[in-house]
């Protein structure tokens, strides 16, 4: 383990998980069934469930880790293996920029969700944004064998993808305070967002 792995795993990551769980807990609808797509080790969903016992979670990922906090099913990373309107909410936490086709996965989420899609991801904005995000991805994910296609989108690209997937922004937050000082000075900036998006009815419904 490198010193970067040690710092990230022992200091940055636990803080980030706690803050993320609080943000998701604040935007997820009441008494919802939630599908966590790309759940990783399941610790985030487990923390959210502790804050919001009214929620029920199901989790899927392309990799099955040996130390998961909740039951996890494996999927292919493209097709969500559930019928239309199977869950109230589909949740992505720093997952879409790892997907080979993020737009397709968003459309899949819109198909499976009855109410909304909740997302934490990145916005490509500001000087050295791509290099900063790529560095963060390597430190946080490379050792777990997670794909790193670096599919970072601008705000305009996110907006277009939401429209294509029939998703309408209800909540949008960018001041997330995910990192402790002084890491926040470099890695926070305006590079992160949290959103809750309403699933709009299909035109043929």
Residue spans per domain, the chain: 3-199
6-15, 102-111, 123-132: segment of lowest average pLDDT? 6-15
> Confidence class of residue 204 from pLDDT cuts 50, 70 and 90?
low
* Whether the predicted pLDDT of 135 surpasses 80: yes
Return the percentage of the chain with pLDDT > 70, whole number.
90
Using left for φ > 0, alpha for ψ between -120 and 50, and beta otherwise, residue 175 falls in: beta
pTM: 0.90
* Whether the predicted pLDDT of 27 surpasses 50: yes
**Contact predicate 16/40, CB 8 Å:** no
CATH architecture, range 3-199: 3-Layer(aba) Sandwich (3.40)
Whole-number Å distance between alpha carbons of 137 and 139: 6
Whole-number Å distance between alpha carbons of 194 and 22: 11
**Contact predicate 35/119, CB 8 Å:** no
* Whether the predicted pLDDT of 11 surpasses 70: no
Choose between 89 and 8: higher pLDDT.
89
Whole-number Å distance between alpha carbons of 18 and 173: 17
Residue 185: its pLDDT value, please? 65
* Whether the predicted pLDDT of 52 surpasses 70: yes
If you average pLDDT over residues 141-153, what whole number do you get? 83
């Amino acid at each position: 383990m490198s010193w970067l792995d040690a710092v990230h795993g022992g200091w940055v990551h636990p803080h980030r998980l706690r803050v993320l769980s609080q943000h998701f807990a604040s935007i997820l609808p009441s008494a919802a069934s939630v599908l966590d797509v790309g759940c990783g080790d399941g610790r985030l969903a487990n923390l959210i469930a502790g804050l919001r016992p009214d929620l029920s979670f199901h989790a899927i990922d392309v990799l099955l880790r040996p130390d998961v906090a909740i039951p996890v099913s494996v999927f292919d990373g493209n097709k969500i293996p559930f019928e239309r309107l199977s869950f109230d909410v589909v949740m992505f936490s720093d997952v879409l920029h790892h997907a080979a086709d993020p737009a397709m996965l968003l459309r899949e989420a819109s198909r499976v969700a009855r109410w909304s899609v909740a997302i934490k991801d990145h916005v490509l904005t500001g000087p050295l944004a791509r290099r900063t995000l790529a560095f963060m991805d390597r430190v946080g994910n490379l050792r777990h064998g997670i794909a790193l296609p670096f599919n970072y989108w601008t705000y305009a690209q996110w907006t277009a993808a939401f429209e294509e997937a029939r998703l309408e922004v209800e909540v949008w937050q960018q001041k997330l305070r995910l990192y402790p000082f002084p890491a926040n000075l470099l890695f926070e900036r305006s590079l992160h967002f949290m959103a809750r998006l309403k699933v709009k009815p299909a035109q043929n419904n």
